[in-house]
Amino acid sequence: MIKNDAEITPDLIAEHGLKPDEYQRILDLIGREPTLTELGIFSAMWNEHCSYKSSKKWLRTLPTEGPRVIEGPGENAGVVDIDDGDVVVFKMESHNHPSFISPYEGAATGVGGILRDVFTMGARPVAAMNALRFGAPENERTRHIVSGVVEGIGGYGNCFGVPTIGGEVNFDARYNDNCLVNAFAAGLAKADGIFLSEAKGVGLPIVYLGSKTGRDGIHGATMASAEFDDDSEEKRPTVQIGDPFSEKLLLEATLELMKTGAVIAIQDMGAAGLTCSAVEMGAKGNLGVRLDLDKVPCREDGMTAYEMMLSESQERMLMVLDPNKEEEAAAVFKKWDLDFAIVGETTDDQRFKVYRHNDLMADLPIKELGDEAPEYDRPWVESPKLEPVAPKDVPAPEDLGKALIQLVGLPDMCSRRWVWEQYDNLIQGNTMAGPGGDAAVIRVGDNGKGLAFAVDVTPRYCEADPIEGGKQAVAECWRNITAVGAEPLAATDNLNFGNPEKPEIMGQLVGCIQGIGEACLALDMPIVSGNVSLYNETNGQAILPTPAIGGVGLLPDVTKRVGKSFTAEGEIILLIGAHEGHLGQSIYQRDMVGEAAGAPPRVDLAAEKKHGTFVRNAIREGRVTAVHDISDGGLLVAVAEMGMGSKIGASLTPNKDIPLHAWAFGEDQACYVVTVPATSAETFAKDALSAGIPTQAIGTTGGNELTVEGSHPISLGDLDAAYEGWLPNYMSAPDTH
């Protein structure tokens, strides 16, 4: 056991993730050498994961307000008005580093943490999604990590009882040693039933709720703020252990407690555990906090103040209690067989004081710990601008049909059925459209409205041009929500990047945030919550810049929606949007030609909004029978997915003005494929053109083949076999790790 008065050496400071200048700042703040516990507290609060010290400057530039935004960034989750006195509460967070070290527990506790963020606000979780990035399939660890992460997400979410209804999965060698696990959750509440984390009132009891504190997860947040190296597996003790059954009890107990009027402020114990939750509550309310650790329920003997303050044991909350309701509140938690312990009180001195065995273990200024952590304006360089690639300069395939079959069977393009069949997407009975579509849809209450959810980013675009890549991530999420007939309301972001101390990495972060901000403004989709995950690199190799965007949209009438699959034979297939066959940074170019080169497709935000609004109105008016946006793989892949989902083929006429492979596989933005009954196709096209929407008929549904004029027919059965086969075949192979 290291004593609280242990010598603070340069090595010990470095082990806590603090730079020499940051340690000097601590000395200047407190006027003395910190105790070991104090050093641990500073380490927890001033790491990148908790303080956003490298990103705060740029995050402030994002649009966070709008007519429907009730709570924006700064709380446990964002809150958005969805009419009738209802609100949706949602957020996305990362659990990348823990998931690489211990895939099952890392992913499971990531789900648990984001669910707590939602119900801490007073909302009952109703939907979960995830955005997953894994290493190259041939990497020896990839299969092991995929298996553990997917099992962990399903194991926690299914037991807790929340439907996992959407997400995305990608593979790339840049994630070989640093997978990404971004977890999204949404909940429903009444507008007048939202609870915040700001402590109010002096001398009020601070109550510990939930499960007991153990030694798991100590320094988890600090670990998540550092690069990996070859010894990272030794960090396994920093990974928390989750218990979804305890979390379910905590949910019910917390929501019941909130009805008593006892809760003045409440905060989830997530990253940095008891330290972060206590400091944030006090600092936000301009109050001090006094904690008596002897009263904290522990599941292990002999825990030190240092261990208790830095433990990230799961299924725990902290609240400021109305003292007149103490007995009533305690009875609720006793009923649910959970710990309820008064462990401290609010004070008027703006100090954070921690006692153990009546000894003062920490005495620190609370504002400097919470609201005034270091903020850096790190040097950055703009990513070099790449020249566009002309479609004619990208080699064409020998056989269009064989190329398409190969494309839909690629690791990044194939069906994710193997993943989402391990998740319960129907529990609670409100799922109207689950995984596999452009966006998932749930029913809200009994008045007929619904919510749509999507999560998107294209990392290769972000690396090639961070600004355009950031714009495209928002635009694609917005398109996917629009494609089911929903109005996009707001978004959450999860910004995953490498080491921000490298100017080129910092430049990627700055560029992506700029692009995200431009798109959110143009598309009226403010950022209301989110997370930044930096230092995602191992032995100097950074991940691709991956700013995942999770969006929520509103359907006033959940029955007025469409899916992406064809619904009938003999319908006309229309292409909405200007389609020029952009192949730069496309899946076709990267995987079929063997090199991702040139600039990514340009994002015209005005066109995105105009085209999407037209499509959404057409859906709500019942004028279209299926909608699918064009994204990875291009137009022909989109049509193939529409056909595979329905077992209905199509006959297509390509645009002769551009090379055939560019027409087929170009990833132009602001484009949709829609189907309409033959009897109304001409009128629909005229209406679109008169509204200034580029529109052209490209074919007809029918048969069991996909036929492109001038090319050999492509069997839907062959397409489906390639599409559905890769992932289960890959995962059934022997694990080499």
Query: In this predicted model, what pLDDT tens digit does every residue of 272-301 receive, in sequence order?
Result: 789 999 999 999 999 999 999 999 999 899
As a whole number, mean pLDDT of residues 307-322 equals: 91
- 670 — pLDDT class (breaks 50, 70, 90): very high
Asked if the model's pLDDT at residue 586 lies above 50, the reply is: yes
**Of 24-38, 484-498, 627-641, 662-676, which gets the smallest average pLDDT?**
24-38
User: What residues have CB less than 8 Å from 61, skipping those under 6 apart?
Assistant: 513, 514, 517
CA angle 673, 710, 388 (to 5 degrees): 60
Asked if the model's pLDDT at residue 645 lies above 80, the reply is: yes
The pTM score is 0.95
Average pLDDT of every residue of the chain: 94
- 454 — pLDDT class (breaks 50, 70, 90): very high
pLDDT at residue 235, as a whole number: 43
Strands (E), 60-194: 69-71, 78-81, 86-94, 124-134, 164-171, 180-190
Asked if the model's pLDDT at residue 333 lies above 50, the reply is: yes
As a whole number, mean pLDDT of residues 546-571 equals: 98
Give yes or no: 357 in active site. Answer: no
pLDDT at residue 224, as a whole number: 44
**Distance set, CA 511 to CA 500, 549, 670 (Å):** 13, 15, 21
**Of 221-230, 445-454, 638-647, 649-658, which gets the smallest average pLDDT?**
221-230
User: What residues have CB less than 8 Å from 671, skipping those under 6 apart?
Assistant: 575, 576, 577, 578, 579, 611, 629, 630, 635
3-class state of residue 252 by DSSP: helix
pLDDT at residue 6, as a whole number: 82
**Of 31-45, 210-224, 500-514, 667-681, which gets the smallest average pLDDT?**
210-224
Q: Which residues pair with 572 in a beta bridge?
A: 676, 700
pLDDT at residue 106, as a whole number: 93
**Distance set, CA 421 to CA 132, 163, 417, 648 (Å):** 16, 12, 6, 24
**Of 86-95, 151-160, 210-219, which gets the smallest average pLDDT?**
210-219
CB atoms within 10 A of CB 211: 22
Burial of 713: CB neighbours in 10 Å, binned 0-12, 13-18, 19+: middle
Give the residue among 513, 511, 469, 478 at the shortest CA–CA distance from 493: 513
pLDDT at residue 222, as a whole number: 45
Asked if the model's pLDDT at residue 435 lies above 60, the reply is: yes
**Residue 538 has which token pair?**
């191992």
Asked if the model's pLDDT at residue 240 lies above 80, the reply is: no
3-class state of residue 34 by DSSP: coil
Q: Enumerate the H helices of 161-243 as residue ranges.
A: 220-223
Asked if the model's pLDDT at residue 271 lies above 80, the reply is: no
pLDDT at residue 736, as a whole number: 54
pLDDT at residue 7, as a whole number: 87
Give yes or no: 49 in active site. Answer: yes
Give the residue among 644, 663, 642 at the shortest CA–CA distance from 709: 663
Asked if the model's pLDDT at residue 4 lies above 50, the reply is: yes
Candidate list 16, 49, 219, 628, residue with the active-site label:
49
Rounded distance, CA 663 to CA 670, Å? Answer: 15
